[in-house]
Structure 1
Amino acid sequence: MKIRNTISLYIIAICIFSSCAKQTNPLTYTKNQLIFGSGGGFANQVNEYRLLENKRLFFRKNNDSTFIDLGRQKVKTVKKLFETSEMLFQEVSEFNEPGNMYYFVRLQKNGQAQSVVWGRPNITVPEKAKELHKHLMNLVPLNQ
């Protein structure tokens, strides 16, 4: 009986820490998230990353319906990035100047989104947006 209980506990633990655990879907996630990435060019390829308030980072290409989970991020780092985005969007409500190749940062909060998109030559981009994008991209593993 003791062995059966022990085996049952191991199975439950494995399920909790593996695929039995509920996966988060960034498209239906209702809390805050930072959406960032780049796109454009001849093939109009888009690389989109989503940093959720629950510290998970996701990736998808070309608006695929499925996301790749890139893992959990550090609490302090995520908190700082969300604070930085709040400051950015207090100063810049909207900025939409895409070019052939473009970069973007979007804050989805309380069901509303604010975004900064840039890439057009000879346009002055808010420096805080470029810095935030750089820090967000530092979260992305090199092979993505």
Structure 2
Amino acid sequence: MKIKTILSFTLYGLAALTFSSCTKHANPLDYTQKQLIFGSGGGFANQVNEYRLLENKRLYFRKNNDSTFTSLGRQKAKIVKGLFKESDVLFQETMTFNEPGNMYYFVRLQKDNQIQSVVWGRPNTEAPEKAKDLHKHLMNLVPLN
């Protein structure tokens, strides 16, 4: 009877370990797959709000280049796939666009240890329409809290 109890606890322990490792979240700074980095910054305080959508469907947030990220949850696979396709189209057409203003917006695609970037906000400078559309679609993922 004692061996049966020990065996049961061992099996439950292994099952708990297996399932807990499935819910482990990746740190965006260590993540090696594709990620979309987007947000806005500037103003008097030069505050930056950065979001990162990972290819594994996780969304993260950090403020002012903090070392820690806040998880904003898992996104729907179909939406994430569509956003990465949209970013591929943007960055095939626009390799780099860097026209920040006092207040600025950005979309970056990080893949294969390379970053492609579009930054805009300078008055009287027209940003690529696809960048503005992608930014808008990405911001729709962010909770309103």
TM-score, normalized by length of structure 1? Answer: 0.89
Q: State the partner residue of 1:135.
A: 137
Q: State the partner residue of 1:71.
A: 73
Supply the distance in 2 between the matched residues of 1:73 and 1:13 (Cα, whole angstroms): 26
Aligned pairs for 1:1-12 within 5 A:
11-12=13-14
Q: Give the root-mean-square deviation of aligned CA atoms.
A: 2.0
Higher-Rg structure is 2
| Alignment gaps of 5+ in structure 1 | none
Q: State the partner residue of 2:34.
A: 32
Please state whether the residue corresponding to 2:41 is helix, strand or coil: strand
Aligned residues: 143
Please state whether the residue corresponding to 2:136 is helix, strand or coil: helix
Deviations 1:46-75 (A, max 9, x none): 000000011111100000001011111111
Structure 1 residues 8 and 52 mapped into 2: Cα distance closer, same or farther (>3 Å)? same
| Alignment gaps of 5+ in structure 2 | none
Structure 1 residues 4 and 50 mapped into 2: Cα distance closer, same or farther (>3 Å)? same
Identity of aligned residues (%): 73
Q: State the partner residue of 1:102.
A: 104
TM-score, normalized by length of structure 2? Answer: 0.89
Pick aligned residue for 2:122 from 95, 101, 120: 120
Structure 1 residues 91 and 142 mapped into 2: Cα distance closer, same or farther (>3 Å)? same
